[in-house]
Amino acid sequence: MTTECAAGTAPGAIPLLGHTLPLLRNPLRFLTSLPARGDLVRIRIGPVEAIVVCAPELIRQVLLNDRVFDKGGPFFDRGREVAGDGLINCPHSLHRRQRRLAQPAFHSTRLPGYAQVMTKHIAEVTGSWQDGQVLDVLPEMMTLTARIAVETMFSDALPAALLGTVLDDFNTVLAGIYKRVLMPPSLVKLLIFGNHRYDRARLRLRGIIGRVITDRRVSGADRGDLLSTLLSARDPADNKGLSDIEIVDQVITFFMAGSETTASTLAWAVHLLARHPDVEHWLHAEVDAVLAGAPASFEDLPKLELTGRVVTETLRMYPPGWMFTRTTTTDTRLGGHPIPAGSILVYSPYLLHHRPDLYPDPDRFDPDRWTDGHTAQPPREALIPFGGGARKCIGDTFAVAEATLALATLATRWYLRLRPGRHIHPARFIVLRPRGLRMRATARNVSQ
Of 330, 279, 309, 352, nearest in space to 35 by CA? 352
CATH number given to 7-443: 1.10.630.10
**Where residue 447 falls among pLDDT bands split at 50, 70, 90?**
low
Residue 289 predicted with pLDDT over 80: yes
DSSP reduced 3-state for 328: strand
Share of the chain above pLDDT 90, in %: 63
> What is the maximum alpha-carbon separation in the chain?
65
DSSP reduced 3-state for 170: helix
Instruction: Write out the E strands in 142-260.
Output: none
Of 349, 370, 365, nearest in space to 431 by CA? 349
Per the CB < 8 A criterion, the answer to whether 244 and 210 are in contact is yes
Of 268, 366, 358, nearest in space to 322 by CA? 268
Residue 157 predicted with pLDDT over 60: no
pTM of the model: 0.92
The pLDDT tens digits of the residues spanning 395-416 come to: 999 999 999 999 999 999 999 9
Mean pLDDT of 140-153: 91
Per the CB < 8 A criterion, the answer to whether 311 and 403 are in contact is yes
Put the strands of the sheet holding 48-53 in their side by side order: 7-9, 40-45, 48-53, 344-347, 324-328, 69-71
Q: Are strands 344-347 and 48-53 parallel, antiparallel or unpaired?
A: parallel
Of 230, 235, 222, 228, nearest in space to 250 by CA? 230
User: What is the DSSP secondary structure assignment for residue 431, as one 8-state letter?
Assistant: B
Pairwise CA distance, residues 246 & 206, whole Å: 11
pLDDT for the residue numbered 448:
42
DSSP reduced 3-state for 158: coil
Mean pLDDT of 434-438: 95
The helix (run of H) or strand (run of E) holding residue 268 is helix 261-275
Residue 333 predicted with pLDDT over 60: yes
What does pLDDT average to over the chain? 90
In the chain, domain spans: 7-443
Question: Please, what is the Cα angle at 257 between 307 and 350, to 5 degrees?
Answer: 65
Put the strands of the sheet holding 134-136 in their side by side order: 134-136, 438-443, 414-418
Q: Is the dihedral of CA 273, 376, 317, 403 positive or negative?
A: positive
Which residues lie closer than 8 Å to 287 by C-beta, 6 or more apart?
A: 296, 304, 307, 408, 411, 412
**Where residue 187 falls among pLDDT bands split at 50, 70, 90?**
low
Residue 215 predicted with pLDDT over 90: no
pLDDT for the residue numbered 189:
66
